Amino acid sequence: MARVALVTGGTRGIGAAISKALKAAGHKVAANYGGNDAAAEKFKSETEIPVYKWDVSSFDACAEGIKKVEAELGPVDILVNNAGITRDTAFHKMTLEQWSAVINTNLGSLFNMTRPVIEGMRARKFGRIINISSINGQKGQFGQVNYSAAKAGDIGFTKALALETAKAGITVNVICPGYINTEMVQAVPKDVLEKAILPLIPVGRLGEPEEIARAVVFLAADEAGAITGSTLSINGGQYMA
């Protein structure tokens, strides 16, 4: 059935692939973004998916943004919490600003985005919440205490909320991507990628954004109602949790 889907950080990288795949699956999609207007406009003209700018680390901005999306497209049935940032540095050099920015954007956003839609989902007895965590939330990563803590938090959030919403027809799942072929990873020097990263990945290649998007479409389906509280690792075999 066609549903209304809202994807945070849905105009670039993995989020853009998710927005496009949900649209191709017949859903009405809204793509949120944070600040890159040029990328959002390009995405909008290429896909005809409406874009909405607000900061997912602000509860008030999320509540207001979701109100606008719901007024224009209808109640949100599928929420994909994908927006995320990195502020990498060794912990002994990490500033409070670097810690807070990552925690608020990558973990706080799950509260900020999900809280305004959950009562409507409960009342309608249907909802799909899909959180995009990371392999580094499962295994930890040097220079990413802030990011790994936030992404591990996304997994705990998923499991607890899945328990609370199971009887209301709402599923909550989390996807943990490994290295995915986005601008962020393309910026890594070629020799570092070939010598230090690819050897860690048993399938011998980066994942593609479309491979994450495919899993989101699967979890978002009406037919996926028995899948809840699950953690789906999509990392080419790099880490088997």
Ligand X SMILES: NC(=O)c1ccc[n+]([C@@H]2O[C@H](COP(=O)([O-])OP(=O)(O)OC[C@H]3O[C@@H](n4cnc5c(N)ncnc54)[C@H](OP(=O)(O)O)[C@@H]3O)[C@@H](O)[C@H]2O)c1
Nearer to ligand X, 85 or 224 (CB): 85
Closest to 182 measured CA to CA, from 149, 152, 219, 210: 210
Whether 179 sits among the annotated catalytic residues: the reply is no
| Catalytic-role residue among 33, 52, 147, 179 | 147
Tell me the sheet residues that pair with 174.
131, 231
Q: What stretches of the chain adopt beta strand conformation (E)?
A: 4-7, 28-33, 51-53, 78-81, 127-132, 170-177, 231-234
Q: Write the DSSP symbol of residue 180.
A: B
List residues near ligand X by CB under 6 A: 8-9, 11-15, 32-36, 39, 55-57, 82-85, 105, 132, 134, 177, 179-180, 182-185
- Whole-number minimum distance, CB 149 to ligand X, in Å? 13
130, 81 contact by CB (below 8 A): yes
| Cβ atoms of 87 and 98 closer than 8 Å | yes
Give the shortest CB-53-to-ligand X separation in angstroms: 7
Closest separation in Å from C-beta 168 to ligand X: 26
Contacts (Cβ under 8 Å, ≥6 apart) of 210: 17, 21
Nearer to ligand X, 25 or 175 (CB): 175
Nearer to ligand X, 168 or 193 (CB): 193
Q: How far is the CB of 167 from ligand X (least distance, A)?
A: 29
Q: Which is nearer to ligand X, 47 or 105 (CB)?
A: 105
Catalytic (active-site) positions: 147
